[in-house]
């Protein structure tokens, strides 16, 4: 490995994550893009750039990058499946969203957000009982999810 390249990628990654944390998504996307140019096999750059696109509402770009991250790291990428599921959800592709949230749950069965998100997709898809089950499961894992509690109250 090239120490100069490693240092450059580390610098871009630090900058990108700082921009992401500050919700400066365009700057974060630029930094992650530079990392991908320098080292195209960097899964984290695709993952976090996809997440930044999601936060900007650029759902097609988010889906593309998150799909790439999943392809490059098939072992355990529950975060990528959750985030791609949200992009599908926002596009109204509820079947795809449910599929991704289900995979995220398979990979990380204690993630309350994944159950809550899947519950929202089931609700939009008209599957009330499945939505209720997922909302209840989410709250059993994390009682602090007020948004899930609100969804459950509305659907009952």
Q: Residue 88: is its pLDDT beyond 80? A: yes
Higher per-residue confidence, 58 vs 4: 58
pLDDT digits (tens, 9 = 90+) for 64-83: 999 999 999 877 799 999 99
Domains of the chain (ranges; CATH) run 1-73 (1.25.40.10), 75-156 (1.25.40.10)
- Strand, coil or helix: 23: coil
pTM of this prediction?
0.91
Give the torsion through C-alpha atoms of 55, 69, 21, 102, to 10 deg. 60
pLDDT digits (tens, 9 = 90+) for 104-144: 999 999 999 999 999 999 999 999 999 999 999 999 999 99
In angstroms, the Cα distances linking 75 to 42, 97, 121, 149 are: 15, 20, 25, 32
CA distance 156 to 54: 30
The rounded percent of the chain whose pLDDT value lies above 70 is 99
pLDDT range class, residue 13, cuts 50, 70, 90: confident
For residue 21, the tally of other CB atoms under 10 A from its CB is 9
């Amino acid at each position: 490995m090239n120490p100069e390249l490693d240092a450059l990628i580390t610098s871009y990654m630090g900058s990108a994550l700082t921009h992401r944390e500050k919700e400066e998504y365009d700057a974060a996307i630029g930094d992650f893009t530079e990392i991908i140019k320098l080292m195209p096999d960097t899964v984290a750059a695709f993952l976090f750039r996809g997440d930044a696109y999601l936060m900007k509402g650029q759902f097609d770009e988010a889906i593309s990058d998150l799909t790439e991250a999943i392809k490059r790291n098939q072992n355990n990428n529950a975060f990528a499946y959750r985030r791609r599921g949200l992009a599908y959800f926002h596009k109204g592709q509820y079947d795809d969203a449910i599929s991704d949230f289900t995979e995220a749950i398979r990979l990380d069965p204690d993630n309350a957000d994944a159950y809550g998100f899947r519950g929202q997709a089931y609700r939009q898809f008209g599957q009330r009982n499945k939505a209720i089950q997922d909302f209840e499961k989410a709250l059993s894992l994390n009682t602090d999810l007020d948004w899930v509690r609100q969804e459950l109250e509305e659907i009952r």
